[in-house]
Structure 1
Amino acid sequence: MKRVVVSGYYGFKNSGDDAILSSICADLRAISPDLAVTILSNTPEEVPAEYGFPAVHRFRLGQVVTALKNCDLLLMGGGSLLQDGTSSRSLYYYLGLIWLAKCFGARVILYANGIGPIRRRVNRWLTRQIVNKVDTITLREHLSLEVLTGLKITRPKVAVTADPVFNLKLDGSISTAGICQREGIDLERPMVGVMFRSWQQEEAYVKKMAALCDYLMETYGAQIVFVPMRFPADIRIAEDIQAKMRAAAVVIRHYYTAQEIIALIGQMKLVLSMRLHALIYAAVQGVPMMGFNYDPKVLYYVKELDVECVNHMHHIRLEEIEESIAAMMESPEAYRQKIAVNTARLKKEAKENRAYLAELLE
């Protein structure tokens, strides 16, 4: 029986990372139902009920070392794990896991990762030394391949695939009626989802987003619904935008699983998002969307999906956005068809992640 340890940014109520983990678990089961899987999580007590596998706390060193010592494969799952944009501490944590796994003789796969930015000289050197020991790397976008090339990481097998959430099997049994009733969402009005996050110099875009939301409500009678993709952190920025609006909007106040948020997005007429995985959720549900670029990963996927995008958060031109929204609201089917074609291609590319994983488990 092969033993697999799965590591990522899990247990922090970040919907995108939770969806990535769900997709990884499904891929592991599809490869073999007999795999012994252990997940490293910030909330290990919640993992068995949600994902069907046991877990240990990601910061309990003894438990982590024991899991890595006994595993055949370390799977570093999804997201932008190797970067020092948020902190070097996070980078050292994930590099440390790779180093330990290789010391114990395990194989390692970076699974549909985004790489970078890694700016500090010592961090770039350390990343090159350790990641060159990895067996296989699949990347969710070509931008990360450029980062690997710049870091002179040449030894692992490398392939550009797509984000694993494109391949997530949707739970068709979820009803959104209860969510809408609980949150006070008016289903008689066209629902527009807004998924924003705190970022640099946010006061300027908060004001413009408030004006845009007012425009949608006044022009289309829209029900604006702010959905926190990272709970509860994203609620604060939603409240800031709502406070500057003339009309009342709905701010989601309760935690929902990735599958529940995907189902809710499926009821929307339009999605406006800084959050990458909200855009991917909209794509798999065929919902017209507009991305707001704060990170190269967002710009990459809006180009892959060929959807509307605000290219810079500090240069939001409301007139141009309103024109784009008018086209989407008036001819949604044309946008849905375009999204469906591009999403089908990305789903196919996302399936390649499983094939590379299966090779290492043979």
Structure 2
Amino acid sequence: MTVDLDGARRVLVVGNFGNGNTGDEALLARALTELAPGAQVSVLSRNPRLVEWTHGVAARPMTAVSFAAGLRWCDAVLVVGGGMFGSGLPPLVRLLPTVVEATNKAGRATFYLAVGVYPGTPPAVLRKLRSAAVFGRLTVRDNLSARTLGVPVPVVGDLALKLAPASTEAANLALAGAGVEAKAPLLLLSLKALPDTGRMAVLRETCLLAASRWRERGGEVAALALSTHADYGLGLAHRDAALAAALDLPVIGPQLPPALAKAVVGRAAGVLGLRLHALVFAAGMGVPFAGFDWEEKSRAFLAEYGGTVLGSAADWIDTITEVAAP
């Protein structure tokens, strides 16, 4: 993977960081390893202190004034991926390609690293992203993003796939802290709330049946919480840990350092997830995984990395012995 910032020494990194989502922090952790040794970094963040504690780099608040000051300070802008571009873009994300293009024209290096670009991205945003791709300033994380752009562009995979995990000993301590002995084969469930109540009922039923079947076979079951809050504007009652508690499962996380979260996944015998980065961590650690293809990014990942796609509880019961039986 190559990030071409023309030898820049002061890099402003932009993405959804400091927002309590372990997957996004994993993207930042991996991206920082791609920068030139000695580069000064400032991360635009929703929670600068949290980013500084997690990653050991300088951060600044995600405000218009701070962003403008960061653009004056830097000699390069690095936009780090995730499911950044698609339908329903927030105003700031919609404006970002315009700002990046203007920054490039002003003489600063710019690069989009492993971004997701999905159907529904507004045409004006797509045009600017395509221009960056044509001039070698953009890579994407999956083939769906490349097809959406419609121009030749490197597909580099999700950055978290190659994030170095923490030690097995650290993972065991994290599990023990959540009351999980992990002496028997461990099934990790990664829950996420959706606004579709029908799908949430399917998710709940699938997880309950999977947990029951796994325990019958002598295994342990726990939940991995990868976000402090619920997506789609849903309330705290729908956050990952609350969903797991409603299923009476021990919970590891949230707010795990990304390398530790990946190491915890590496201790599992199988992962069933709706959160994308539970699946990404599993693929990166060689752990069998299964998930629902209800979001564009998850559908693309499952198609490219061979995870089992689940549509109902029956699907999981039918495939559990092939996916990750104790």
Unaligned runs of 5+ in 1: 333-362
**Identity across the alignment (%):** 23
Q: Is 1:187 matched up with 2:189?
A: no
Question: Which residue in the other structure is 2:4 paired with?
Answer: none
1:301-337: CA deviation from partner (whole Å, max 9, x where unpaired)? 2222223112xxxx41x3332121112334x8xxxxx
Secondary structure, aligned partner of 1:78: strand
SS of residue matched to 2:278: helix
Q: In the alignment, what sits opposite 2:222?
A: 225
> Is the CA contact (8 Å cut-off) linking 2:188 and 2:223 kept in structure 1?
yes
1:36-51 matches, within 5 Å, as 36-51=40-55
Match of 1:76 in 2: 79
Give the number of equivalent residue pairs: 309
Residue 303 of structure 1 aligns with which residue?
A: 303
The answer (yes or no) to whether the contact 1:98–1:130 under 8 Å persists in 2 is no
Counterparts in 2 of 1:162 and 1:240: CA distance versus 1, 3 Å = closer
Q: Is the 8 A contact 1:206 1:241 kept in 2?
A: no
Q: Which runs of 5+ in 2 are unaligned?
A: 1-7, 232-237
* One-letter amino acid matched to 2:255: Y
| Segment drifting more, 18-27 vs 204-213 | 204-213
- Structure 1 pair 178/273, CA: closer, same or farther in 2 (3 Å)? same
Find the aligned partners of 2:324 and 2:9 in 1 and give their Cα distance.
50
Task: Tell whether the 8 Å contact from 1:7 to 1:39 is kept in structure 2 after alignment.
Answer: yes
Residue pair 2:12, 2:43 contacting (<8 A) in 1 also: yes
Q: CA deviation at 1:126?
A: 4.6
Q: What do residues 17-62 of structure 1 show as CA deviations (whole Å, max 9, x unaligned)?
A: 101100011111xxx2122221111111233343232111122x22
Question: Given that residues 191 and 243 in structure 2 are in contact (C-alpha distance below 8 angstroms), is that contact kept between their aligned partners in structure 1?
Answer: no
What's the CA shift string for 1:213-272, capped at 9, x where partnerless? 3433442233221111112438635544653x5xx4213365311111111111111100
Alpha-carbon distance in 1 for matches of 2:76, 2:37: 16
Identify if the C-alpha distance between structure 1 residues 212 and 63 changes in structure 2 by more than 3 Å, giving closer, same or farther: same
Instruction: Give runs of aligned pairs for residues 1-362 of structure 1, distance below 5 A.
Output: 2-28=9-35, 32-59=36-63, 61-85=64-88, 87-102=89-104, 104-118=106-120, 123-129=122-128, 132=131, 135=135, 136-149=137-150, 158-172=153-167, 175-199=170-194, 200-201=196-197, 202-233=199-230, 236=239, 239-240=242-243, 243=246, 248-252=248-252, 254-310=254-310, 315-316=311-312, 318-330=313-325
Tell me, in whole angstroms, the C-alpha distance in 1 between the residues paired with 2:118 and 2:306. 24
Checking the alignment, whether the CA contact within 8 Å between 2:22 and 2:254 is kept in structure 1 is no
RMSD: 2.6
- Residue 98 of structure 1 deviates from its aligned partner by 1.5
Rate the CA distance shift 1:254–1:228 in 2: closer, same or farther, 3 A: closer
- Compute the displacement of 1:109 (Å): 1.2
Which ranges of 4 or more aligned residues in structure 1 deviate by more than 6 Å? none
Contact 1:191 1:267 (8 Å CA) reproduced: yes
Deviation at 1:12, TM superposition (A): 0.5
Offset at residue 15 of structure 1 (A) = 0.9
Q: CA deviation at 1:285?
A: 1.6
Report deviation, 1:170: 2.4
Q: Which has the higher helix share?
A: 1
CA offsets 1:150-195 (integer angstroms, 9 cap, x no match): xxxx6xx732221122222223375123322321113333211111
TM-score by length of 1: 0.76
SS of 2:49 mapped into structure 1: helix
